[in-house]
A and B are shown apart, each in its own frame.
Chain A
Amino acid sequence: MNRRAIVAGAALAVVVALVALVFRGTADSGTTSASASGSRYTVRLSVDDPRTGPNSLGFEVTDKAGTPVAPDEVTVEPVMPVMGHALAPVTANPEGQGRFRAPTADLPMAGPWQITVSLRDASGVDQVVLPLLVKG
């Protein structure tokens, strides 16, 4: 009886593993990140669970060699290309060590967005465009 229970348990485990495998593709991923480089800076965007409404967009700015740097000003302009809708730019707050955060960027619709980041310093403005998929 005991051994039979073990066998049944093993079979159940295999079936559960199988079901998990089938639904693996639909699991939620949590933090979304993307990175892109302009002529002088590399920017990494990370957003925890991007949803419609206010989102907190975090940016890590480095130079091309990968060292964290802080440009004078970092502004964020979200655009939803398929809707032809651009939002007013918001200025990201410096958090030190090349980290910046736009705490309440309002993304009013689910779907693919483009986050344009403008990095201003003494020698001009560098721009990078990052894709961000917002869920409903």
Chain B
Amino acid sequence: MRALLVILCVIGFAWGGTIPAAADGAAGGGDIQVAQTLGDRELTVIIRRIEPVPGPVHVDVVTHVGSPAGDLGLRLNRDGGTVSGTTVRLTAKPGFHTGTLRVDGPGPWELVVDDGQRVATIPFVVPARVMSPPQNAAYGGFVAAGVLMLVTIAVALRRGGAASFVPAAGVVAALAVAVTAALLSSSVPPPPAPGSDLDPSVDNVTDPYANAQASTVDYSRPPVNLVATAVDDDLRLALTDGSTGRPVDDLLVHDSAFAHLGVVSPSGKLWHLHPVRVGPGDFRAKLVAPEPGRYAVAAEISRRGGGRQLLRTTVTLAAGGTAAPATEDVPLDRKIAAAGSPSTITARFGARDLQPWLGMVGHLIVVGPVTGEVADAPVWAHVHAMTPPTPELPDKPDESVAAFGPDVPFTYSFPLPGRYLVWVQAERGYAVRTTPAVVDVPAAGGERR
């Protein structure tokens, strides 16, 4: 009987300790932040962590300075059909605007953002709470051990002696299975993630372990071809697969956007936009050219399966307006080294009130060396200044946190000597502040300037 008591204690201890810890490791989603250049508005759309499923979905729409007031339609589509919709009234005051929608199950979904003129779709995956096979085995093992324990006690009391050894052996076997599975569950690799590794479907989101072993090892996909054209007031990006020519409809959100589009005019004005998806491989951003000529176009994207790529092209635009992107004059502290060595440019914003934009405190766009037309510059770079760790904020801070700066350093090794155009970008008061500058990089072996 004493041995039985010990075993019971072990079971109780294991139930209390091991298993809930393993269950907490189940897959779950976080917030999804997507920057969207929708018409005249630069929006940040945040889909808050969805739990439980089915359940409500909270969507925050962050507007920025200069964003016109108006109604924004939000819809959640599944399989081409609208499941829920709401309207968010955007005020002229920049900041957070919230709408609540509803999902009725896990799987691939689309958030439709409709401003009345343009319709953007944001594909995303609503994850299911799933247990790995070892976790199931651990649960099952402990349940079986518990049941067999009762059987053992019943047999021992009624018949005694040797008969009780049979169910007791079962208890030991079930415990062995459960403990082994519980110990293994932490070391079993996670299955390929639907959405980021595999094309998501309801089946593979609901049970990602079902066909985990039948998948290939390398999920990366071919590079992408970018063709930029002007359509009405929009710059249209046509993305096609570099191997099959099919539209690329598997972009992942990285650094809070599907595509980070940089456009530089012939006279050196920068647009940093986040084209919206209007169809498979069809992304658009409003851009009215203030001057005619060849514009440099660069898009940073990431496909399903991993890996980021920079797509560069040029587009010839006719002048359609006069409005150029606003700039500011933030003091820059420059430590420029020779080509190939790290240079540091520090922007001094003066106050500790910067907000993270695209998950970063600051962005530095580098184009150069410029010898003739800007569109022919061989180097394009996008340097980040990360948000420093904030112990009081376990998650990545969103734009509601205005507590960064005042100095934003960027270190970059200019690959070639020559004259570069650089732009420092950071957000303050829900407005992205862009400071343009020209940097002359000496050849290696030359003196510092």
Residue positions of A touching B, CB distance < 8 A: 3-4, 7-8, 10-11, 14-15, 17-18, 21-22, 24-26, 29, 32-39, 42, 64, 79, 81-86, 110-112, 114, 116, 127, 129, 131, 133-136
Once the chains bind, are B133 and A86 in contact (CB under 8 Å)?
no
Once the chains bind, are A133 and B215 in contact (CB under 8 Å)?
yes
Whole-angstrom CA separation of A81 from B224 in the bound complex = 12
* A77 smallest CB distance to B (angstroms): 8
A residues in contact with B246, CB < 8 Å: 79, 86, 116
Chain B 189-215 per-residue mask, 1 if CB under 8 angstroms from chain A, else 0: 000000000111111100001110111
9 nearest interchain CB pairs? A37-B80, A84-B243, A84-B222, A86-B244, A25-B133, A131-B199, A21-B140, A111-B216, A11-B170
Once the chains bind, are B79 and A14 in contact (CB under 8 Å)?
no
Once the chains bind, are B166 and A7 in contact (CB under 8 Å)?
yes
Once the chains bind, are A82 and B220 in contact (CB under 8 Å)?
yes
Contact of B199 among A29, A83, A114, A134 (CB under 8 A): A114
- Can you sample 12 A-B contacts with CB below 8 Å? A3-B163, A4-B163, A14-B148, A17-B140, A18-B174, A35-B79, A81-B222, A81-B241, A82-B218, A85-B243, A112-B199, A136-B214
Whole-angstrom CA separation of A95 from B252 in the bound complex = 38
Q: A18-B177, A82-B305 are in contact. Are A135 and B214 (CB under 8 A)?
A: yes
Once the chains bind, are A8 and B241 in contact (CB under 8 Å)?
no
B residues in contact with A24, CB < 8 Å: 133, 136
Once the chains bind, are B244 and A84 in contact (CB under 8 Å)?
yes
Describe A's contact surface by its main secondary structure.
mixed
Once the chains bind, are B173 and A22 in contact (CB under 8 Å)?
no
A residues in contact with B202, CB < 8 Å: 34
Once the chains bind, are A81 and B221 in contact (CB under 8 Å)?
yes
Chain B's closest residue to A35 (CB) is B79
User: Does B167 belong to the interface (CB within 8 Å)?
Assistant: yes
Residue positions of B touching A, CB distance < 8 A: 79-81, 133, 136-137, 140-141, 144, 147-148, 151, 155, 159, 163, 166-167, 169-170, 173-174, 177, 181, 198-204, 209-211, 213-216, 218-222, 241-246, 249-250, 280, 304-305
Once the chains bind, are B219 and A42 in contact (CB under 8 Å)?
no
Q: A7-B155, A42-B80 are in contact. Are A14 and B170 (CB under 8 A)?
A: yes
Once the chains bind, are B166 and A11 in contact (CB under 8 Å)?
yes
Chain A's closest residue to B77 (CB) is A37
Once the chains bind, are B209 and A25 in contact (CB under 8 Å)?
yes
Once the chains bind, are A14 and B242 in contact (CB under 8 Å)?
no
Whole-angstrom CA separation of A16 from B115 in the bound complex = 59
B residues in contact with A39, CB < 8 Å: 80
* A87 smallest CB distance to B (angstroms): 10
Whole-angstrom CA separation of A131 from B64 in the bound complex = 38
Whole-angstrom CA separation of A16 from B213 in the bound complex = 24
Whole-angstrom CA separation of A19 from B389 in the bound complex = 46
Whole-angstrom CA separation of A23 from B341 in the bound complex = 56
Once the chains bind, are A26 and B249 in contact (CB under 8 Å)?
no
Contact of B204 among A11, A129, A133 (CB under 8 A): A133
Once the chains bind, are A15 and B170 in contact (CB under 8 Å)?
yes
Q: A26-B133, A81-B250, A84-B241 are in contact. List 5 more A-B contacts (CB 8 A).
A: A8-B166, A21-B137, A81-B305, A112-B216, A133-B204
A residues in contact with B141, CB < 8 Å: 18
Once the chains bind, are B216 and A110 in contact (CB under 8 Å)?
yes
B residues in contact with A36, CB < 8 Å: 79-80
Whole-angstrom CA separation of A16 from B92 in the bound complex = 66
Once the chains bind, are B219 and A7 in contact (CB under 8 Å)?
no
Contact of B144 among A14, A26, A32 (CB under 8 A): A14
Once the chains bind, are B216 and A37 in contact (CB under 8 Å)?
no
B residues in contact with A82, CB < 8 Å: 216, 218-221, 305
Once the chains bind, are A112 and B215 in contact (CB under 8 Å)?
yes
Whole-angstrom CA separation of A83 from B219 in the bound complex = 9
Chain A's closest residue to B220 (CB) is A82
Chain A's closest residue to B200 (CB) is A131
* A70 smallest CB distance to B (angstroms): 19
Chain B's closest residue to A114 (CB) is B199
* B123 smallest CB distance to A (angstroms): 12
Chain A's closest residue to B207 (CB) is A25
* B77 smallest CB distance to A (angstroms): 9
Contact of B181 among A22, A84, A129 (CB under 8 A): A22
B residues in contact with A7, CB < 8 Å: 151, 155, 163, 166-167
B residues in contact with A129, CB < 8 Å: 199, 249, 280
Q: A7-B163, A24-B133 are in contact. Are A133 and B140 (CB under 8 A)?
A: no
Whole-angstrom CA separation of A116 from B280 in the bound complex = 12
Once the chains bind, are A22 and B218 in contact (CB under 8 Å)?
no
Chain B's closest residue to A40 (CB) is B80
Chain B's closest residue to A12 (CB) is B170
Q: A17-B144, A133-B211 are in contact. Are A22 and B177 (CB under 8 A)?
A: yes
B residues in contact with A116, CB < 8 Å: 246
Contact of B151 among A10, A33, A64, A81 (CB under 8 A): A10
